[in-house]
Amino acid sequence: MIPIVQGVAVALFAVGALLALYRLLRGPTILDRMIASDVLLTTLMLAVGADMVINGHTRTIPVVLALAATAIFATIAVARYVSKQDASDSSARIAANAIGTSTASAARGEGSDDD
């Protein structure tokens, strides 16, 4: 029974890791890649945890902790990077809208004192 469960677990972890790797390589955005890397690291942590349960040892707990720390710090770094990009993009959009509004008003003749 245990070899069957072990084989099913390995197959499911492999499929999950391959799908996450596909999304990691294909993108299309940095957020898609970040979610895929989180899924890949989580799958790896689960596989190591399953190995600990099946073989009855706790030698690889530091490996699981290192993987978890890597996932957390990578997620925080990407979130900070994306939030800075969003802030600069929104500032640029606000500036473009202000320039576009004043240009459109001038083209229509609004706001002139010639009347």
Instruction: Give the domain CATH number at 89.
Output: 1.10.287
In a domain, 61, yes or no: yes
The boundaries of the domain holding residue 37 are: 2-105
In a domain, 113, yes or no: no
Checking 2-8 for CB contacts under 8 A at 24+ apart, the result is 2/54, 6/54
Tokens of 83: 């939030």
Count up the domains in the chain and report the number. Answer: 1
Report how far residue 17's alpha carbon sits from residue 2's, in angstroms, rounded to the nearest whole number: 22
In a domain, 86, yes or no: yes
In a domain, 111, yes or no: no
In a domain, 110, yes or no: no
| Contacting residues for 40 by C-beta, under 8 A, at least 6 apart | 17, 20, 21, 24
Encode pLDDT of 16-67 as tens digits.
999 999 999 998 988 999 999 999 999 999 999 999 998 899 999 999 999 9
In a domain, 68, yes or no: yes
In a domain, 39, yes or no: yes
Average pLDDT over residues 4-19: 93
In a domain, 76, yes or no: yes
Query: Across 3-7, 12-16, 88-92, 100-104, which has the greatest mean pLDDT?
Result: 12-16
Q: What angle do CA 51, 74, 48 make, to 5 degrees?
A: 0
